[in-house]
Amino acid sequence: MSSQEIRSFKAFIIWGMRNILISILLLLLLTACTGAASPQADRVVPDCRPAPIKVPKMPAVIPEYMQLDRETGLHMTGTPQEIDLKSYRLLVTGQVEKPLSLQYDELRCLPKVTAAPPLKCSGIFEDWVDTATWSGVTIAEVLNLARPLPEAKTITMVSADGYKVTVDLDTAMKPDNYLAYELEGQPLPVLHGFPLRSVFPAKEGSNWVKWLVEISVN
């Protein structure tokens, strides 16, 4: 092989190695871009970047069961749960096409509803009706994201304290029923369900599940 041929061969090798390196760099860049985009692509709820909230704390004094909470004027029921907001997820499980694990802010990014339905609890405080303004997202909005299967008939709402309530799916899907994350325009107090509770205006207060962590579609 002549000197000219050797020089040409070396130049070809260098050219080939350079192109290989460029291809590898382009592939790495493409992979990085794809990886960065995938969490957003996987989101069920668009990121609306809601304003940060002040996380409520457990009060120093907790009213006795069925007693009035002087801070809100609402009766105290259930066993108060202090839930870590960073790790909190609302699970939607069971007979659905797409099981969900929704963060608190994802719920806040869904269409918001506000109402002031009366809260009644027969056998607990029958001579008193709790009234307050609750804001949140309809149960139908959340369930539609999960897409219940045709055979689904009920939902079971599960509290962090172990309390459970089952209602008909058709009832849960009515537009008046929702999941509240605000009381009087502020995050729910711990005593009244923070971070999330159900609101069923036409049903007894026993259906208004506090500290809601899961909706199982059955």
Q: Give pLDDT tens digits for 21-40.
A: 566 655 555 544 444 333 34
Pairing of strands 186-187, 154-159: unpaired
Burial of 171 (0-12, 13-18, 19+ CB in 10 A): middle
Residue 151 pLDDT > 90: yes
Given a contact cutoff of 8 angstroms between Cβ atoms, the answer to whether 92 and 102 are in contact is yes
Question: Is residue 195 reached through a cis peptide bond, with omega within 30 degrees of 0 on the bond before it?
Answer: yes
Given a contact cutoff of 8 angstroms between Cβ atoms, the answer to whether 136 and 115 are in contact is no
At residue 155, the 3 state secondary structure works out as strand
Cα–Cα–Cα angle for 65, 205, 177, nearest 5°?
145
- Residue 215: count of CB within 10 angstroms of its CB: 25
Whole-number percent of the chain with pLDDT over 90: 71
Tokens of 164: 């459970």
Put simply, whether the predicted model's pTM sits higher than 0.85 gets the answer no
Kindly report the length of the chain. Answer: 218
Residue among 89, 87, 111 at smallest CA distance from 99: 89
Tokens of 25: 């760099």
Tokens of 29: 């860049």
Residue 41 pLDDT > 50: no
pLDDT in tens, 156-190: 999 999 999 999 999 999 999 999 999 999 999 99
Residue among 197, 193, 163 at smallest CA distance from 82: 193
